[in-house]
Each structure stands twice: as structure tokens, then as C-alpha cells.
Amino acid sequence: MTETADHPDAYPPSAEFAAAANVDAGIYERAAQDREAFWAEQADCLHWHERWNQVLDWTDAPVAKWFVGGRLNVAYNCVDRHVLEGRGDKVALHWEGEPGDSRTITYSDLLAEVSRAANYLTELGLTAGDRVAIYMPMIPETIVAMLACARLGLPHSLVFAGFSPTALRQRIDDAEARLVITVDGQWRRGTPAPLKEAVDEALLAKGDVPSSVEHVLVVRRVGTEVEWTEGRDLWWHETVAQADPVHEAQAFDAEHPLFILYTSGTTGKPKGILHTSGGYLTQTSYTHRVVFDHKPETDVYWCTADVGWVTGHSYIVYGPLANGATQVLYEGTPNFPDEHRHWQTIEKYGVTIYYTAPTLVRTFMKWGRQIPDAHDLSSIRVLGSVGEPINPEAWRWYRDVIGSGTAPIVDTWWQTETGAIMISPLPGITATKPGAAMTPVPGVSAAVVDEEGKTVRRGETEANGYLVLDQPWPSMLRGIWGDMERYRATYWDRFADQGWYFAGDGAKLDVNGDLWVLGRVDDVMNVSGHRISTAEVESALVGHSGVAEAAVVGASDETTGQGIVAFVILTAEATDTGATMVDELKAEVAREISPIARPREIHVVPELPKTRSGKIMRRLLRDVAEGRELGDTSTLVDPQVFESIRAGRTD
Ligand code: PRX
């Protein structure tokens, strides 16, 4: 630890790291002087079939247009360009299968695969603008499928392979997908989990209404038998794999939709976050280059996120591939066959940049440092964190044990909506502080404000503020699929007078003006870095015939950040009121949404605390769930309600 005059616990980069870094401190100044020129410079790192004539058009705010008039092909930028520039033999993916199989895929291989897939999707009759749902695990074909869609201008919608058939169907319907790409099954701790079967279930006609899906393209991964619908289902190895490996990429408008990715909001209905092409690729590749100090010639990069979440989109697929990275892609869980798997993988491939979530760091801490200590992790030079605030204890452990006490940690704050990293240290410049995301990256502007939109004072610890983004940025969402009104209401109404984007997070500024993100201030929970809305879980619970009413809160959890705690009132028909019922309800939520949404605790209670207007006071339930003194109960209809809730908790 280095003491600095400003902060007693700040970690500046070593002189050696700073000297070799991709950018120097002057970048902040340059970006601030002329933001648009700065972003144009970043966009110039990409290949444009036609250059833009205007950097930013904000006249239709809050829907931005970046690089107006520009035309590019995202897949060409991620693949073809590297091959054409003589780097075809460079490894793009070191893929590590869960059972121990592995594949090495060069940029030339990737180009052939993506071209085959693009040719076959064209043969299926898909044309630019058609949507494709991708429900797949961490295998190379998932990336090939995404890039083939990008190449043809088909917006993809990845649905995390842990989601239920119900959740998958909801997303397919909302985007009206014509094609689903999936696998027979995925490996999960040595056992094949059926995915094709889940797709079959999702696509069953709802009454008389068939789904919008015309074909299901299936990659064989685990080799189990699957049901087959003739005419609809197609094997990847019989179609894509046989197609022509040459395909010429066409250019699309910079604002052509690239993907839709559903995320939880404050209501039960997930929001289809829409991202477009030029601005998104500019900011993902720029941030990947500067935040991780990525050097394509020497680095081996590993982002452990699932490709089904935004981190996988931006920092496994688009950002790194646009930068010609060599990366590790791992299919399985970190403890299969044992807890050494990640460290063995780092040793095997000589990983230099490792990007993961705080919840996993805390899990590694629980398993004990003797596990990583048994491996040579000296190749690691940059560590990244994403998804939730990282607690200082986990931060220090991460740096000491995984980063040999020297690797800079970049704590990157961003969201599905922002598309790319917004607030983060730069590893060759920033003196990092354990737990702080620090400052917006050059080119990005953010503020921490109070209820009225006034900037909070530095070092103010009592009144924490709201995090807002006060300038448009290239990778910003362009809307919510099919619901632009909700887009405005969710992100832009809160500070409409100022025209700021409200992130939904609380934050504070320390005495140096560095930013600390404190977590969500709305009804969105963050469980192991996964965003889940209280309303979604409540609606799954009340879907059970035994439940009359449900209220769900996120309570702090040592490992997962937050854990889901539900309070339910049972119906008169509920015959069982004890442990069996609680187990059944937990299973119901896992089935309806996903195992990641399974409540940690469910308490059967006789009543819920409500205000006179009938709103459930979640804040008070959070106090109960975390065993705290109750906050202000004066607005409750019946303050006595807590006696019975507390009694209910001991059930
Ligand atoms: O609350 C913030 C938290 O994750 C939310 C965004 O979730 P999602 O859209 O699923 O994207 C996760 C990966 C980018 C944010 O509103 N969050 C994300 N990164 C951080 C964070 N909270 C604190 N520090 C972070 N570094």
C-alpha cells in the first residue's frame, strides 16, 4: 500500500506500468476539451465503409444518433479486418470446455465460421432487420452466431441459458424472433442440462397463438437425444457447417440495430434494451483498449462473464474482437471438476488480464487462498471487477492473492443500458482506492446529484446522491424495444428539466471528488451481479395458487451482494403453511424465472406493511430482512403489522 497525501489507502500504478500504458494522463484533458473530436478519434480506430459526416446528432434527445451518415459492418471490424491485415493466424479464442475438451480458433477460422453461418442464415431467408434469439452456453458457436447476425444486420437477442422456458418465450414474443439458435444441451458440473427441450417447451402454441419462430437451429454439444420437429428444427452441423466459407460483408448504417438485450426493470416485464452499431462498437473497443490497457500482440485476456449478459456482449464479443484480442472462453463453473479450474486455466494460457465479478472474488476468498496460491499467476498484470460494488476487503484480497500484490484493479461501473464502461480507473494513470469506481473514463461525463439535481458536496457522507449521466455517449441505449414511452419514463423523466440520464444507482463523492457507487436506489436487486427486479419475483410468487400477496426485497448477503427475501401471505386454499410450502415456492420462482432468482428466504406472514395509498413499504421489510431497527413507520396504516411479521419470520 502506498500512502498518498490525498488518500491514506490509494494504489498508484508502478512507474513501469505507467510508462508502458496505452494512454497517459493527458487523455482526460484532451477528451474534455472537445468531446466530439475525441470520440471521432476513437471511431477512426474502426473500419468504416463510409465515413460519417456528423459525430453526434442529439436533436431527437433522448434518442441519440452517433456518427451520422457513417456505414460499417460490425462483424467485418471484429473478424475480416484482422485477417486482411495479416493476422489470420492469431488465436482469437482459446476455448476451454467444461469436461476438459478444448479448441483453438484463429481469426481465419473465425472468419470461415462466421461466413458459413451468414451464408446459411441468408439461405433461410433472413434479411436485415429480422430478429434472432440465441439461447446458448459458452461455446464458440455462440460467438459465431452473434457475429453472423451482426454481419447480416439481424439484431440478436441473447437469452441467458439459465433462463426458464417461460422467460425465453416472453423474450421471443416481445422481439418477434424468426429464428432461435440453441444447443441440444449444456454441460453443468458434469451433467448435460437440456436446452433444446426448454426451447421446445417455450415454443408450444399458447392457446391458438403459435410463436413467431420459423426455425430452430441446433448445435450438437452434449450428444443427448432430442425431440425433433421436422421442417422447423435444423442441425447446425448439417447446415451451417456445410455452407460456403466465403461471404462478403455489406455495410450498414451506423445506427442500424445491433442487438436487443433484456434486463430487469422495476416492473415485472423485462425491458428490451436496444443497441446500435457504430457508437456501440466505438465505445466498447475504446474502453477495452484503455481500461484494460489491452495490447493485442502480447495480452491473453479473460472475461469470465456469461455471453448472455451485457458484459459478455461488450467484453467477450464486440470490444475484444474489434481489438484483435486473444482470449479465453470457458464453458463451465469455477468449481468443476474442482476449485482450481480458473487458476489452472490462467496458468495454461498465460492469462494477463482477468475480468470478473465481486461475488466470484468473495467465493474464491471463502474457498481459501491456498487454492490460487498453488498456481503460478504471475502472468496477470491487470484485474477487473464489474457488476456490483466491490467491498474493500474483497478488493485487497483480489489484488494481493490474484494480482501478486501489484496488478492494478479496474472497478468498472456501467449497465446494460450504457453498453460500455462509463466509470473506471485507468490502470496506468489512476491511484485506485479499494471500493471506488473513481472517475468517468475520458469522453464520458457523470455527476452525483441530490433530489433537486444539485451536485452533492465532496466528502458528504450523510446525504448520498443519485448517479446521473449528463452528456450523451456513443454506446448509449437507443431505446426500449417496442416501448419508447417506457424508455423516456424510466431513464429521462427523473431529471427531465436538466436532460440527464438517471442510472438508478446511488453514489457519493469523496473528498477528492472520486466517485463511489453505492448500489441501486430502485426496486432492482443485484444478486451475484445479476439484475433481478422485485416485481418479477413477486409476480412469479403470486402466480402460485397458494399465494395471495407477496413482497420481495434484496437483503445484503456476504457472498452474493444481495439475497432475495420474500414475504408472502397465503390464500385460504393453501393447505400447507410450513416448510414444504416454502420449498415449493422457491422452486416455483426458479422454474418461472431462473435458478438465479430463487429466493434465499421466504417468510409466511399474516400481513404486509402498507402506506395509506396501499404501497408496500419495502424499505421497512428490508430492515426486517437485515435484522435492523425499523426506520420511520409513521406513514404505515398499521404500525402493529411488524409484530406479526416478526413472529412470522421465526417460522
Ligand atoms: O447497480 C449497478 C451495478 O449493476 C447495475 C447494472 O447491471 P447490469 O445492467 O446487469 O450490468 C451489469 C454489468 C455491467 C448498475 O446499475 N454495477 C455494475 N457495475 C458496478 C455496479 N455497481 C457498483 N460498482 C460497479 N463497478
pLDDT of residue 612: 77
- Do residues 322 and 287 lie in contact, with contact meaning Cβ atoms separated by under 8 Å? no
Q: Whole-prediction pTM value?
A: 0.93
Q: What is the pLDDT of residues 289-303, one digit of tens each?
A: 999 999 999 999 999
Confidence band for 209, pLDDT divided at 50, 70 and 90: confident
CB 320 within 8 A of CB 301: yes
Judge if the beta carbon of residue 386 lies within 6 A of ligand 1: yes
Strand 233-235 relative to strand 215-219, pairing: parallel
Provide the pairing of β-strand 65-68 with 54-57.
Answer: antiparallel
DSSP 408: -
CA-proximal residue: ligand 1, atom 26 (nearest) = 413
- What local confidence, expressed as pLDDT, does residue 8 receive? 67
User: Is the pLDDT at 6 greater than 60, yes or no?
Assistant: no
109-133: per-residue pLDDT in tens?
A: 999 999 999 999 999 999 999 999 9
Give the CA-trace dihedral at 542, 548, 553, 557, to 10 degrees: -80
Ligand 1 centre distance from Cα of residue 388 (Å): 5
Residue 1 is predicted with a pLDDT of 40
Going by DSSP bridges, is the β-strand pair 233-235/409-412 parallel, antiparallel, or unpaired? unpaired
For ligand 1, mutation pick of 163, 273, 356, 505 (most atoms within 8 Å of CB): 505
Give the integer Cα–Cα distance in Å for 395 and 397: 6
**Helix-, strand-, coil-residue percentages of the chain, each rounded to 5:** 30, 25, 45
Amino acid making up residue 378? S
Q: Pairing state of beta strands 601-604 and 530-533?
A: unpaired
Distance 288 CA to ligand 1 centre (A): 17
Indicate whether 648 pLDDT > 70: no
Ligand 1: which residue has its CA nearest to atom 15? 415
What tens digit of pLDDT does each residue of 384-424 get?
A: 999 999 999 999 999 999 999 999 999 999 999 999 999 99
Question: Which atom belonging to ligand 1 lies closest to the Cα atom of 305?
Answer: 13
- Contact 356 CB / ligand 1 (< 6 Å): no
Give pLDDT, residue 640: 74
Phi, psi (degrees; rounded to nearest 5) at 338? -155, 180
Pairing mode, strands 501-509 and 515-520: antiparallel
2-16, 42-56, 193-207, 313-327: which range is least confident on average? 2-16
Return the pLDDT at 459: 85
Dist. CA 515 → ligand 1 center (Å): 14
Chain length of the chain: 651
Whose C-alpha lies nearest to ligand 1, atom 4? 387
| Site to substitute for ligand 1 among 413, 432, 441, 527, most atoms within 8 A of C-beta | 413
- 520 touches ligand 1 (CB under 6 Å): yes
In this predicted structure, the answer to whether residue 463 has a pLDDT above a threshold of 60 is: no
Residue 413 beta carbon below 6 angstroms from any ligand 1 atom: yes
Give SS3 for 303. strand
CA distance linking residue 181 with residue 621, whole number of Å: 41
Residue 604 has pLDDT above 50, yes or no: yes
pLDDT value at position 265? 80
pLDDT of amino acid 303: 98
Q: Check pLDDT > 70 for residue 590.
A: yes
Comparing 2-16, 64-78, 308-322, the range with the smallest average pLDDT is: 2-16
Note whether 196 and 172 are within 8 A (CB): no
Rg of the chain in Å (alpha carbons): 24
> CA angle 527-531-532, nearest 5°?
85
Q: What is the pLDDT of residue 618?
A: 84
Question: Which residue is closest in CA terms to ligand 1's atom 6?
Answer: 415
Question: Is the confidence at residue 558, as pLDDT, over 60?
Answer: yes
The residue whose CA is least distant from atom 22 of ligand 1 is: 388
**pLDDT of 162 over the 80 cut:** yes
Q: Is the CB of 437 under 6 A from ligand 1?
A: yes
Which range is least confidently modeled, 27-36, 244-253, 447-456?
A: 447-456
Whether the CB of 388 sits within 6 Å of ligand 1: yes
What is the DSSP-derived secondary structure letter of residue 249? P
SS3 532: strand
pLDDT above 60 for 212: yes
- For residue 132, the cross-strand partners are 156, 179
Q: In whole angstroms, what is the distance from residue 377 CA to residue 585 CA?
A: 43
Minimal-distance CA residue to ligand 1 atom 5: 415
Instruction: Using alpha carbons, list the distances in angstroms from residue 317 to 44, 88, 142.
Output: 20, 17, 10
Considering the chain, what is the average pLDDT of its residues?
94
Q: Answer with the residue of higher pLDDT: 312 or 270.
A: 312
Contacts of 513 (CB under 8 A, 6+ apart): 439, 458
The one-letter amino acid at 429 = I
pLDDT band at 504 (very low <50, low <70, confident <90, very high): very high
Does position 231 have pLDDT exceeding 80, yes or no?
yes
